[in-house]
C-alpha cells in the first residue's frame, strides 16, 4: 500500500474512532444523566456520532473501491459483523431522530428506554467492530 492510501485509511479511522467514542460515551452518559435538557443536547451529539459512523464506514469501502476497483473482500463472520453494525446504525439513527422530533411528549420511562437502546446498539456495534477487524 502507498503512503497516500495508508494516510487515507488512517484519516478515516480517526473520524470513525471519534464517532465510536461519541455514540458509546454519549449514550452511557445520557443513560445516567436523567435531565431532559442535557439529554436533548446529548441526543444531538450521539445522533451526529451515528451519522458519522455511517458516513466514515462507507468511506472505508469507497476508498478500497477507489484504489482496487472492487469492494473489500470479506466473507463469513466479517460479513455478519458488518451487517450487525449497519443494522445498529440504522436503528439508532431512526430512534434518535424520532426522539429529537417527538421526545418532548414522551414519558420518562420511554426516554430511559431510548438511552438503554442506544447504549446497547453502540456496545453491540463496537463489539462487532472487533470481529470485522480480525475476521477480514
Ligand atoms: C454503517 C456502519 C459502519 C460501517 C460500514 C463500518 C465499517 C468499518 C470498517 C470497514 C472498518 C475497518 C475494518 C478493518 O480494519 O478491517 C471499521 C472499523 C472500526 N469500526 Fe466501524 N463501521 C460502522 C459502524 C461502526 C460503529 C457504529 C462503531 C462503534 C460504535 C464502529 C467502530 C469501529 C471501530 C472501533 C473500528 C476499528 C476496529 C479495529 O481496527 O480494531 N463502527 N468500521
Residues 48-100 pLDDT 10s? 999 999 999 999 999 999 999 999 999 999 999 999 999 999 999 999 999 99
Task: Please provide the average confidence, as pLDDT, over all residues in the chain.
Answer: 96
Q: Which of 133, 134, 136 to mutate to test the pocket of ligand 1 (most atoms within 8 A of CB)?
A: 133
| Domain boundaries, position 53 | 3-134
Output the CA angle 30-83-50, nearest 5 degrees. 30
Task: Please determine, for residue 1, whether its predicted confidence score (pLDDT) is greater than 90.
Answer: no
* Cβ(57) – ligand 1 distance below 6 Å: yes
Q: Three-state DSSP class for 33?
A: coil
The CATH number that applies at residue 22 is 1.20.120
Cell 444531538, residue located: 44
- The helix-helix angle for 36-68 and 3-32 (nearest 10°) equals 160
Counting from 1 in the atom list of ligand 1, the atom nearest the Cα of 78 is 16
Q: Say what the pTM is.
A: 0.94
Averaged pLDDT for residues 96-117: 94
- Looking at ligand 1, which residue's alpha carbon is closest to its atom 16? 133
Count of domains forming the chain: 1
Helices (H), the chain: 3-32, 36-68, 77-102, 108-134
The values of phi and psi at residue 17, to 5°, are -70, -40
Give the count of beta carbons closer than 10 Å to the beta carbon of residue 49.
Answer: 24
Task: Please determine, for residue 29, whether its predicted confidence score (pLDDT) is greater than 90.
Answer: yes
Amino acid at each position: 500500500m502507498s503512503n497516500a492510501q495508508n494516510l487515507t485509511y488512517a484519516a478515516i479511522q480517526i473520524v470513525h474512532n471519534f464517532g465510536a467514542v461519541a455514540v458509546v460515551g454519549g449514550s452511557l452518559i445520557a443513560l445516567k444523566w436523567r435531565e431532559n435538557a442535557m439529554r436533548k443536547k446529548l441526543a444531538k451529539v450521539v445522533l451526529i456520532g451515528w451519522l458519522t459512523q455511517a458516513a466514515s464506514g462507507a468511506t472505508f469501502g469507497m476508498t478500497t473501491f477507489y484504489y482496487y476497483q472492487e469492494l473489500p473482500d470479506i466473507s463469513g463472520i466479517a460479513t455478519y459483523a458488518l451487517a450487525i453494525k449497519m443494522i445498529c446504525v440504522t436503528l439508532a439513527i431512526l430512534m434518535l431522530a424520532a426522539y429529537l422530533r417527538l421526545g418532548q411528549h414522551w414519558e420518562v420511562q420511554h426516554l430511559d428506554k431510548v438511552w438503554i437502546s442506544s447504549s446497547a446498539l453502540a456496545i453491540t456495534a463496537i463489539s462487532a467492530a472487533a470481529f470485522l477487524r480480525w475476521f477480514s
